[in-house]
Amino acid sequence: MKKVTVLGAGSWGTALAMVLAENGHDTLIWSHRHEQAKEINEQHTNEKYVPNIQLPENLRATSDLKEAAEHGDIIIFAVPTKAIREVAENIMNYLNRKVLIVHVSKGIEPDSLKRISEILEESISPHVIEDIVVLSGPSHAEEVVLHHPTTITAACTNLRSAEKIQDLFMNQYFRVYTNTDVIGVELGGALKNVIALAAGISDGLNYGDNAKAALITRGLAEIARLGVRMGGNPFTFAGLTGMGDLIVTCTSVHSRNWKAGNMLGKGMKLAEVLESMGMVVEGVRTTKAAYQLAKKYDVPMPITTALFEVLFNEKEPKDAVDELMNRLKKREIDYLQ
Ligand SMILES: NC(=O)C1=CN([C@@H]2O[C@H](COP(=O)(O)OP(=O)(O)OC[C@H]3O[C@@H](n4cnc5c(N)ncnc54)[C@H](OP(=O)(O)O)[C@@H]3O)[C@@H](O)[C@H]2O)C=CC1
Ligand SMILES: O=C(CO)COP(=O)(O)O
């Protein structure tokens, strides 16, 4: 039995904490809202984020970050990308021993263009970091809490640490693979959200299955093109954390990014969409970061660029699609050249 802390009591943090508690680990989930921690401890529910689900009674919650820091030998960050830096800097005040850090967040910080593991390395002293492991793959919380079969990848440059996280989570409905390509895994997880927003827009415009298949396939081409340029292993983008996560996020009604895109395609404004979601839509900020990365590395990313124009420059989605279709002629297979 391991002592594990999960930081963030949203849908994914709660679902993962459930898996860990069900695996028999001494699991403490931290919420920055006292009322939510109380609900988890007393009602064994988290109605806002995992409605109609009874949480295991051995899953405990706290709103005290010091208690959360002191509890876990393994500390899992499950807050949105925009909160990672703040939570990491705050918990750093209470860490005085080495802990194995895991993160499950799928984003890239705009402007700094840092991946999550880079933000964690910047915010937390190396003296208290055993290693940083990324857990990513096609995995909607809504299905994990129902014990539907799910596969995911634990990635760390140190394979032993990835294997520790594999052992921590594995059970009969939650299967974990390992990978040492942290760059590829983090980029695949973050950039699929950009393409999922575009797929949602396409569905909102009723463009049908051909268009969505095109977005998924050409989306993967531009993710891999940038990812390889940034040092990712090309094969990672064909795996669970690349193609796998892209498929689930572009096709599932559970996806927050797809849903937000769908509303945009139906004509809603971005601010209204985000207001109505009530959960994080990582792809919006990551679109800005991906657009900046494409420029920095001089890598063509036409879908990302079109989405950037829709989200931030008020381009009509239909006009963006017309422009994508009317670009100069291209060869299909180009991204490994
Ligand atoms: N949901 C899913 O199925 C999956 C999500 N992920 C990734 O996991 C990450 C978290 O997503 P998800 O759980 O869906 O997000 P949610 O929107 O469901 O929950 C986010 C949680 O983080 C809390 N939070 C927000 N800002 C802060 C802050 N500054 N300090 C402390 N807590 C904060 C929120 O609190 P509050 O209620 O106050 O807003 C909420 O409890 C994202 O990067 C996402 O891409 C990855 C795989 C699957
Ligand atoms: O990453 C996810 C599934 O693997 C969740 O995607 P959404 O944030 O779009 O719901």
- Going by the annotation, the residues of the binding site for substrate are 106, 256-257
Which atom of ligand 2 is least distant from the CA of 257? 9
Residues in the chain: 337
Task: Annotate 42-104 with DSSP letters as a single string.
Answer: HTS-BTTTBTT-PPPTT-EEES-HHHHHHH-SEEEE-S-HHHHHHHHHHHHTT--S-EEEEE-
Domain boundaries, the chain: 3-180, 183-325
Interface predicted TM-score (ipTM): 0.99
At 337 the pLDDT is 43
What is the Å distance from ligand 2's center to 229 Cα? 24
At 241 the pLDDT is 98
Contact 79 CB / ligand 1 (< 6 Å): yes
Which ranges in 230-252 belong to alpha helices (H)?
Answer: 245-251
At 326 the pLDDT is 82
In angstroms, what CA-CA distances link 114 with 14, 109, 289? 26, 5, 9
SS3 290: helix
Catalytic site positions: 192
Contact 245 CB / ligand 2 (< 6 Å): yes
Number of Cβ within a 10 Å radius of residue 314: 9
Which three-class secondary structure string do you get for 158-224? Answer: CHHHHHHHHHHHCCCCEEEEEECCHHHHHHHHHHHHHHHHHHHHHHHCCCHHHHHHHHHHHHHHHHH
CA distance 127 to 267: 50
Q: Which CATH architecture has domain 3-180?
A: 3-Layer(aba) Sandwich (3.40)
User: How do the pLDDT tens digits run along the chain, 337 residues long?
Assistant: 999 999 999 999 999 999 999 999 999 999 999 999 999 999 999 999 999 999 999 999 999 999 999 999 999 999 999 999 999 999 999 999 999 999 999 999 999 999 999 999 999 999 999 999 999 999 999 999 999 999 999 999 999 999 999 999 999 999 999 999 999 999 999 999 999 999 999 999 999 999 999 999 999 999 999 999 999 999 999 999 999 999 999 999 999 999 999 999 999 999 999 999 988 899 999 999 999 999 999 999 999 999 999 999 999 998 988 888 888 888 888 744 4
Q: Which CATH architecture has domain 183-325?
A: Orthogonal Bundle (1.10)
In angstroms, what CA-CA distances link 182 with 189, 321, 334? 11, 33, 24
State the helix-helix crossing angle for 317-325 and 182-204, rounded to 10 degrees: 110
CA distance 262 to 198: 8
Indicate the pTM of the whole model.
0.97
Which atom of ligand 1 is least distant from the CA of 10? 19
